[in-house]
Homo-oligomer: A and B are copies of this chain.
Amino acid sequence: MKALLKRLAVYCDIGSREEAVAAELETESHSYAPGEQMVCEGDQLRHAFVVERGWASAHRDLEDGRRQVVHFLMPGDFFGLQVMVARTADHSITALTEVEAFRISPGAISHLFAEPSDIGIALWWAQVQEESILREHIVRNGRRNATERVAHLLLELHRRARIVGHAESETKHFPLSQQLIADSLGLSVVHVSRVMTRLTKDKLIERKGKSLKITDRDGLNALCEFDTGYLHLEADISAFRLKRPGRPPDQTPGENRAGAA
């Protein structure tokens, strides 16, 4: 549960109570091989899960083979709060690297929300954040050109990776093939290749094997007006706090735009 706690720590203080609650969730760890289908569209969902290690993609496939990636799951990300109300999966999840995940039963989830810990609120926040990421995905693919899309996606992934401490080295292991990027951005692989070689030649990024380094973040930012606002890195949970006093409000320092990221 380390990844989840790390992520939640961004906006709320994790105390011993939260750690205890999180520890209870660690019951059933499961690991998936790269390429393995973790959830298949149409499946009956029996549990949600939290990713502890590795990357996965959420996607839908059309009859004729076209595929659209709707979301990338990284450590600390949650899948399937919907298991509480909707039993049938409306999209698939595929492991991109080796993935370790904790399965969480519906019962455990509703327990989480009843428990007096911040974890329940935290999950809500994670849900809000994910939805916001989906909206930004729509904006990116709908109103930006190919170069802007690639730049924006790379910045988002890098920023999200940093939250769970996976980009501190700047040169991070980057597990996405150009096919996946294309399927996320609604472009062809060929065009993604062209754009990325362009970005490389312009010294905005550097690629070696399976690693990707952002060498000129300001340059990328300038290309696509990246704004981290939608990631809601500063949450305000005072609405909930009112109910359970006795804690100081969080003081997460701000960070929003371009250079700051």
Contact = CB atoms under 8 A, between A and B. Distances in A.
A118 to B, nearest CB: 11
Main secondary structure on A side of the interface with B: helix
B68 A128 contact: no
A235 interface: yes
Interface stretch (A23-31, A134-142, A157-165, A213-221): A134-142
Contact of A239 (B58, B106, B127, B235): B106
Contacts of A255: none
Interface residues of A, number: 59
23 contacts: A58-B135, A68-B139, A68-B142, A70-B139, A71-B135, A81-B128, A82-B128, A85-B128, A86-B125, A86-B232, A90-B135, A90-B229, A90-B232, A109-B239, A110-B239, A110-B243, A130-B131, A134-B134, A138-B141, A141-B141, A141-B142, A142-B184, A142-B185
**Chain A to chain B: the 9 pairs with minimum beta-carbon distance, closest first:** A142-B186, A106-B239, A85-B125, A82-B128, A87-B236, A68-B139, A66-B143, A134-B134, A68-B142
